[in-house]
């Protein structure tokens, strides 16, 4: 029984050390709210990264228009959006600056710093991103999955606006998300 208590204490101590390190690494920097800086050291700032746009597929071409926004309340020092496709992309692609291939059917794009409140109000004024891609196989439809690969360690309590799955038939029509 004593050995079991010692093991539990050791595990609890190790867990607290990991949580403490994670809290410090998440940091409370310039993007944290005044309340976080005042007494909540180690608490990750809260941000609401959002993606809006459309997908279009026609004759082997795949177009994605993406606007990245942050509805706040805290800013994000850096964000990366992940786009995954249900079909492989053609070999050589010209990608926008800040984007790279992460696999045969995946692209990562850095969105950079996103200030709090960017994209609020009537017009969406976030960071725009246009991808003109080619698919490797003939297809009648493509499913595009969009989500956040990195948001600077911020917590996001509203994933519904940054996790999308869009089915786009190869009609040349725009399918909005």
pLDDT in tens, 9-39: 333 333 333 333 333 333 333 334 333 433 4
Are 166 and 137 in the same domain?
yes
Are 92 and 66 in the same domain?
yes
- Going across the sheet that includes 49-58, the strands are 127-134, 61-70, 49-58, 174-176
Report the domain count for the chain.
2
Stretch 55-67: mean pLDDT, rounded? Answer: 97
Is the distance from CB of 49 to CB of 109 less than 8 angstroms?
Answer: no
**Is 44 part of a structural domain of the chain?**
no
Are 82 and 121 in the same domain?
yes
Are 53 and 26 in the same domain?
no
d(CA 110, CA 68): 10
Q: What residues make up the domain containing 16?
A: 2-39
Are 74 and 152 in the same domain?
yes
* pLDDT reported for residue 118: 58
**Is 12 part of a structural domain of the chain?**
yes
Q: What pTM was estimated for this model as a whole?
A: 0.73
Are 120 and 165 in the same domain?
yes
pLDDT 10s digits, 83-131: 999 999 999 999 999 999 999 999 999 999 999 985 544 444 568 999 9
Are 142 and 162 in the same domain?
yes
Question: What's 152's domain CATH number?
Answer: 2.60.40.10
């Amino acid at each position: 029984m004593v050995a079991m208590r010692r093991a539990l204490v050791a595990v609890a101590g190790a867990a607290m050390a990991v949580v403490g390190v994670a809290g410090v690494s998440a940091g409370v920097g310039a993007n944290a709210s005044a309340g976080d800086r005042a007494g909540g050291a180690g608490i990750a700032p809260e941000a609401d990264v959002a993606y809006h746009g459309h997908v279009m597929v026609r004759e082997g071409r795949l177009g994605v228009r993406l606007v990245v926004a942050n509805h706040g309340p805290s800013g994000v020092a850096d964000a990366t959006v992940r786009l995954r496709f249900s079909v492989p992309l053609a070999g050589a692609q010209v990608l926008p600056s800040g984007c790279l291939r992460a696999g045969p059917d995946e692209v990562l794009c850095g969105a950079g710093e996103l200030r709090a409140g960017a994209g609020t109000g009537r017009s969406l004024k976030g960071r725009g991103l246009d991808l003109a891609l080619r698919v490797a196989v003939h297809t009648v439809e493509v499913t595009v999955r969009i989500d956040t690969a990195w948001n600077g360690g911020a917590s996001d309590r509203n994933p519904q606006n940054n996790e999308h799955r869009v089915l786009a038939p190869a009609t040349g029509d725009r399918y909005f998300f």
